[in-house]
Each structure stands twice: as C-alpha cells, then as structure tokens.
Structure 1
Amino acid sequence: MKFISVLAGFAMTLTVIYCSADSDAWENYKKKHGKDYNIAADGGKQDAMRKELFLDKTRIIEQHNSEKFTSFKQEINKFSDLLPAEMAKYLGVKASLAPPISMMGSMSSDLYNHRRPPNARKMQFNCNNVLAQCGSCWAFAAITPLEFAKCMKFGRPVRLSEQQLVDCDKLNGGCDGGWYTLAWISIWRAWGSAHESFYPYNAQKNTCSYSWFMARANVFTYRYVPANNMLAMQQAIQKYGPIATAFTAVDPFSSYADGVYDDSACDTQPVNHAVVIVGWDTLNGVDYWIARNSWGPNWGKNGYIYVQRGVNKCNIESYPAYVLAF
C-alpha cells in the first residue's frame, strides 16, 4: 500500500512538472511573437484553445525532427497556434484559374534546347519584410519577378506594389485569391505597376487608388515555361530571372525551417499557394529549387525554402512562368 502511494505521488509530481513546462513554453511563445489571447469575457477559453494548438504542433514537430532519415527540419514559428482557416489566409492561389495541365505539358521548349543546364545556380534577391496575409500570395509572386526584370533591364533596383494588384486587379480576387499571370495582364492594361512607396501593402482590399504617375515598371510580355521540364526552368531563370510558380502548401510547409523539403502529402493535392523560384542547388546529393515565399524573413531560411527538384514536388514544376519588363 505504501509502495502504491509512493508511485501515485511520483506520477503527480511528474504531471505538475510537465504542466509547468508546457505553461512556460506557451508563455514564452506568446511573448516572442507578440500574442495575447486574454479576453476577460471568455474566461480564458481562447487562450486555452490556442495553447492546445501550440502544444499539439510542438509534439508533431518534435516527432518529425526526431526521425532519422528526414531531409528537412521544422520549427515552432508565428503560425504554430493558428487554426487551418486562419492559415489559409496566408495562401491565395486559385487552382480554378490555372491553365490546363495538358497545355502546360505540350508547350514548345524551342528556347530551351541545350543539353546541359546553365552554370549559374543561385540568384541573390533580398527578401521583402512585408508579410502576405490576406490571400494575396499571387500578387507577391507576380511582383517579385517583375521587380527583378526591371532591375535587370535598367540596372536599378525598384520596389513595386502588391497592394495595387489587391485593390485594382479585376481579373483576380484581391484577398480571396488569384493567379500571377493574370496579374501581369492587369499591370499591362493599367499602364504600369506602382512604386511601393506610393501604394504600400496593408493586407486588405481597398478602393483602387492607382494613377499612372505612380508607375515605375510595366509588363512587356510573359510566358509559361514547359511543365515538368527542369532544364527549361533552369535556363529560363538564367536568361530571364526569377520565375513565379504555383505550389501546394500543406501543414508541414508552414513550419519549415531548414533542409530540402520533400513532404509527400502535398503531391496529390491541388495548388493553393504561389512562390518564386530564384535558383537551384544540391544538398547531400538531393537536388533542390531555391524558392522565395511571401511570409517574411522570419519564416524558413530567411524567407526562402529549398524544395526537392526534378520530381515536381508539391506541383512546383507544373505552372512556372517568367515576365519581361519595360
């Protein structure tokens, strides 16, 4: 009987220790990311719900990172206590706007007829501090290559406005999603893309206030790169700069930290996000694309992710496209 009592006391002590550790981790997380869920009227229910989401995510990440043969690591970040519906606000590609995959696969590859890939592997491009958070990733994917194309043509860096597209692009849905090549058409029709200082991002759809004098770049033309053609994509990047592409983001993607992302859960799902491929490389014998996300420099590798290359991981090689500026 005494032995049973000792065991019960030991178990109770462990429970107190673990609960205390969980509470400390939760409080530290909120402090680090500036979150406060203390709502007097709900008696702490919101905070308790968020804490449970955070702890569940922590356990999932710890389990993933403990696996011996995983090629990428995950981490706790600003998204670790969000509901799926809240996480969806950081996506925004509409699969219904994508061109038929049969058309993408049959596109001419005459421009990409070299047998060997180009030598250049990486293109340095500073990650924007702005965080796309209203279903506008399509706008960020459209603007980044246009900025680079403008800079490459005239030798001067320029910051263009994603908010102009969110507010003014009638071919896309603002914060409800869109498609990057349609955004390029809209910019061409509007006689240019506004400078970011004239039209800063505010993560919500407003009344369009664009005027021609704000323009600092325009679209000359754009073109899709043949789907599932790694060599064509490499040569397009070398010749034209970063390329926009659609992507399938599933839960582990939001927690990406390092390594080559090769999660198989995304391969059978439709595209729902957009990223910009800026280069490629190889790590431990695994080929990967270097992709810029639209979630700010505190996500992933300073705003970037390495995605397995040559296998159409997460549909990243299905809808690549480049743009030329004037």
Structure 2
Amino acid sequence: MSVGFRCCALIPWMVLAAVLGSVLSLGEDLDRPLFGPPGSPIGVHESDPGLKKVMLFAEERYNRGSNAMHLRKISRFVSATKQLVKGIRYTITVELSNTLCKKSAMVRTCDFYPETQKLKTEVCVFEVWDIPWQGTSTLLKQKCSPKAAEVEETNRVAEPTNSQPVEESVQLLGQFKDFMVKYKKDYSSQEEAERRLQIFQENLKTAEKLQALDQGSAEYGVTKFSDLTEEEFRSTYLNPLLSQWTLHRGMKPAPPAKTPAPDSWDWRDHGAVSPVKNQGMCGSCWAFSVTGNIEGQWFLKNGTLLSLSEQELVDCDGLDQACRGGLPSNAYEAIEKLGGLESETDYSYTGHKQKCDFTNRKVAAYINSSVELPKDEREIAAWLAENGPISVALNAFAMQFYKKGVSHPWKIFCNPWMIDHAVLLVGYGERNGIPFWAIKNSWGEDYGEQGYYYLQRGSNACGINRMGSSAVIN
C-alpha cells in the first residue's frame, strides 16, 4: 500500500524541491552555523584565557575518569569553538598523550614519554559548559579514540562535493520526505526545512557509524529524533545532572538478593510494569524512572498496578529541576517528604513545570525509604528478579538512532561516566547468544521496540550498572 505525502501547507513539495536544489548546488549554505546569531558557535584561538581554563578542567576530568596508571596531558591543540548558552559552551578537539608521571605523584611538571610508541596519543572531543560568574564548569561530553583512527565530532560530517551523484541527492530527499510523513513533521519555512535536511543528512552518517561499529545486534537508522542536532536532543530529552556525581545524595545499600539470578526474568510477564509513557519535550526522565520503580514496588506489596504521577514530581520536587533534569535519589526523598504520589489520573502529565497541586488525600502510593543497588551486573540481575524493576541511568548517545535489537556501542560513543538518561530496568535474558537488559524508556511506544531499548548485559555498557536504585515500601 502506498502512503500519500501529506504535510503542513507551509512545506509543500515545491519547498522540498527547493531543498533538493540547495543540496545539489552546495554553496556557502552548508558552511553556515547550525544556530544563527545570537549564540552562534565561533572559533576560539588557543591563547583565549577562558579556553585555557576549560582545557585544564577537561584534562583533569579525563584523568579522574581514566583507570590508567600514568597521567595524560594535552599534547596538541587542534581546534575549539565557544557558544553563549546561559554561560559559555566550549567544544574542544585536542590530542592527549601519556606522561612519565604516575597519578599518585605530586609534581608540578610532567614530561611526555620520549618514545613515540609509549605516548599512546588519543584524539579527544570535549564539550564543557562554563559559567564564569558562578565559578562552575561541567563536562557535557567526552569522546576519545586512538590517533590512528581519529573520530570526528559527531555533529559534523564530510561535506559533499559538486560531483555528488544526483541519484544520491534524490535518495536523501526521499528518505527525508518519508521521515516527515511518518513522524508528522511540520516546518515553518523553507529555510527551516533546509536546515533540518542538513541535520538529517549528518545524523544518517552518525547512525551509519554506530551501525558499523556496534558490537551487538542493534539496528540504527532514522528515528523520530533524526532532525535534531546532538545538542538539541540532549537539551530537550536528556538529563546532564545525572553525571554530576558531587550532587548525588548518599543512599543506604540494598540488602543482597537471597538467591542467585535465574537465567532470564521479565517483570512485564508478571504484571509489575505499566504501559510505556512519553515524557515529551521535557528532561523529566528521572521522574519516569522513579515512578516506574515505585509502580512495581507497590504492585509487589499490594497486588495492584497503578500508573503514578510524574507531573507531581515535576511540579513539587523542590530538590530537582523539573524539565531541566533531576536525580532519582532526590526524587525518593521528595516523595517521602510530600507523603506519597498521586495517580496519573488525578495529577496528569503536561510536560512542563506548573504550580504544585499535590493533595494529601489523593495519595495513591507511598514509600518508606530508598536503597542503592550494587555495581555488579550479576548482583543487579539477582536483585531485580527477586525484588522488582529498578531505576537505572545510562549514557544515551546511541539511543537517538536506535531502532531495534541488542545495542552494544563502543565505549567511545557511550562513555560510562557521561550518564545522561534515567530509565527503568524491567528484565534480562539472551537473544541469539547475546545477553541483554530490557529497558523501559519514556519516549513513547513509537521509539525502539514498542518503547523499549535493549542493551548488552555483562560489560557495564554505557554505565548501566552505576546508578541502580529502588524505593522501599514496608
């Protein structure tokens, strides 16, 4: 059955034809910044004082997260840009190499290895958000690879040349048209359509790179997020606060499981998981992760599966930042102080912060405390099978283009320290010899496999083991 092309009247086929013309002409348009002034990225010279400061910060964070014995330092500056985004966001490309200094050494200067083969130089891209007037810096992204296989910034692709075959351009336009129809995309102008087509093309390259390097059975490609830049996707759907380890509240450890983990387990088969929800254009994944956990805990204690209110947390959790992110540990504490959660029916989701409208008499479920899960994946599996779905978090870079299968991105795409999305672990098992975690996401049923993401289990992929937690209901 053929699908007719229907779209907003503002973007008829003639506009897309004009877009095709821009793809074929390939003039100066492709060099323009993705965001026009104000706030456009601009090049930064190596001598810029602010850049020097954030380069030292990035270097320090790299060494803190590395398990190498020796310190690594920036051996060559490649390029940098900065952008005004409620502070200054720096994107830095540098080379890092081994020094002779061990991490434990308290020395002021560290020389590089004189032997080239021992330098083990890496090319790294760092994104740092610096707020000078607050004296704070945040590492948003870190991607490194051996110099012999340099990794480009994920938001850039090789520009096409005038010799690009017409057939290739037509194919690209056809994919973009199908994408717009499938996901009901409406753009307000020809200029915006052109920009989204350019981003779409760049994202196809990123998805191809993920596909080529995936170590599992995942399929990556066009998703409903394919017209968003990495920065737009991160700022709209993800949660950078999760990687700020100094913000995390200490939680008491969960008691170990009484029995070893069975070969497989899925709480969807036992009635403890509500339908997939959609957080919309709001970084409230932390609220969905926590309510999903409490829904499972309440079911196991009381035999009733309730759909609980995420909006209550968005509006009333004073410890977190609503659509700008939050931490599960804070959310549990807020729920205890509030006295519980209302149902989704009584306090429905809007996807933006409102005035708190919590009513004690409408509490549908409560918790008594919360616990932190161990970091060993076998222990996590055993605890899950015995005690219910678990709130977890992970690095979601590969999730923007995930379609199906068991995902196992290379660490360079999925740094376990750069956690930025909270989800719900509902089960585990094995597919065609690949062990997996079954993860309930909060981006709607039209994401992934009916709203679920499957991640390789057993290698701490994407930091899935670092932030497991659960509410406790006595």
Determine if the TM-score, normalized by the shorter chain, exceeds 0.5. Answer: yes
1:76 equivalent in structure 2: 222
2:256 aligned partner: 111
Give 1 or 2: higher strand fraction: 2
Worse-matched range after superposition: 277-286 or 127-136: 127-136
CA contact (8 A) 1:194 1:210 kept: yes
Runs of 5+ in structure 2 lacking a partner?
A: 1-161
Count of aligned positions = 305
**Residues 102-153 of structure 1, C-alpha deviation per residue, up to 9 Å, x if partnerless?**
x89xx86753364x32355112134324234311110011100101111222
In structure 1, the residue matched to 2:192 is: 46
Q: Percent same amino acid at aligned positions?
A: 28
CA distance in 2, matches of 1:108, 1:165: 24
Residue 342 (structure 2) pairs with residue 194 (structure 1): yes
Q: 2:307 aligns with which of 151, 159, 176?
A: 159
Query: For residues 94 and 28 of structure 1, do their structure 2 counterparts lie closer, same or farther at Cα, with a shift above 3 Å needed?
Result: same
Q: Which stretch has the larger CA shift, 129-138 or 117-126? A: 117-126
What's 2:389 paired with?
242
Specify the alignment match of 2:123 in structure 1.
Answer: none
The residue type equivalent to 1:35 in the other structure is K
Matches within 5 A, 1:23-172: 23-39=173-189, 44-62=190-208, 64-65=210-211, 71-88=217-234, 89-92=236-239, 94-95=241-242, 98=245, 111-112=256-257, 114=259, 116-118=260-262, 120-124=264-268, 125-172=273-320
Alignment of 1:176-191 (within 5 A): 176-191=324-339
The letter of the residue matching 1:112 is A
Q: Return closer, same or farther for 1:51/1:318 CA change in 2, 3 Å cut-off.
A: same
After the TM superposition, which residues 269-280 of structure 1 pair with which residues of structure 2 at under 5 Å, given as runs?
269-280=417-428
Asked if the contact 1:93–1:179 (Cα under 8 Å) also holds between the matched residues in 2, the reply is no
Residues 165-314 of structure 1 correspond to what in structure 2 (within 5 A)?
165-227=313-375, 229-250=376-397, 252-263=398-409, 264=411, 265-314=413-462
Q: 1: distance between equivalents of 2:218 and 2:170?
A: 30
The answer to whether the 8 Å contact 1:168/1:208 transfers is: yes
The one-letter code matched in structure 1 to 2:283 is G
**Greater relative CO, 1 or 2 (CA 8 Å, sep 6+):** 1
* Range with greater deviation from structure 2 (55-64 or 303-312): 55-64
Give me the whole-angstrom Cα distance separating, in 2, the residues matched to 1:231 and 1:99.
27
Q: Which has the larger radius of gyration?
A: 2
Q: 1:49 and 1:100, CA in 2 relative to 1: closer, same or farther beyond 3 A?
A: closer
The match for 2:170 is 20
User: In structure 1, what is the Cα distance between the partners aligned to 2:280 and 2:358?
Assistant: 20
* TM-aligned CA distance change 1:249 to 1:67, over 3 Å: closer
Tell me which moved more, 12-21 or 261-270.
12-21
The answer to which structure has the higher helix fraction is 1
- Residues 323 and 352, structure 2, Cα contact 8 Å, conserved in 1: yes
- Which whole-Å CA distance do the structure 1 matches of 2:447 and 2:257 have between them? 33
Deviations 1:192-236 (A, max 9, x none): 101111211111111111111221001122111112x12321222
CA RMSD after TM alignment: 2.6
Structure 2 vs 1, CA of residues 184 and 309 (structure 1 numbering), >3 Å: closer, same or farther? same
- SS across alignment from 1:246: strand
Tell me how far 1:20 sits from its aligned partner: 2.9
* Separation in structure 1 between the aligned mates of residue 448 and residue 422 of structure 2, nearest angstrom: 15
Assess, with a 3 A threshold, how the Cα gap between structure 1 residues 192 and 276 changes in structure 2: closer, same or farther: same
Distance 1:286 1:53 in 2: 33
Equivalent residue of 1:266, what SS?
Answer: coil
| 8 A contact 2:274–2:306 mirrored in 1 | no
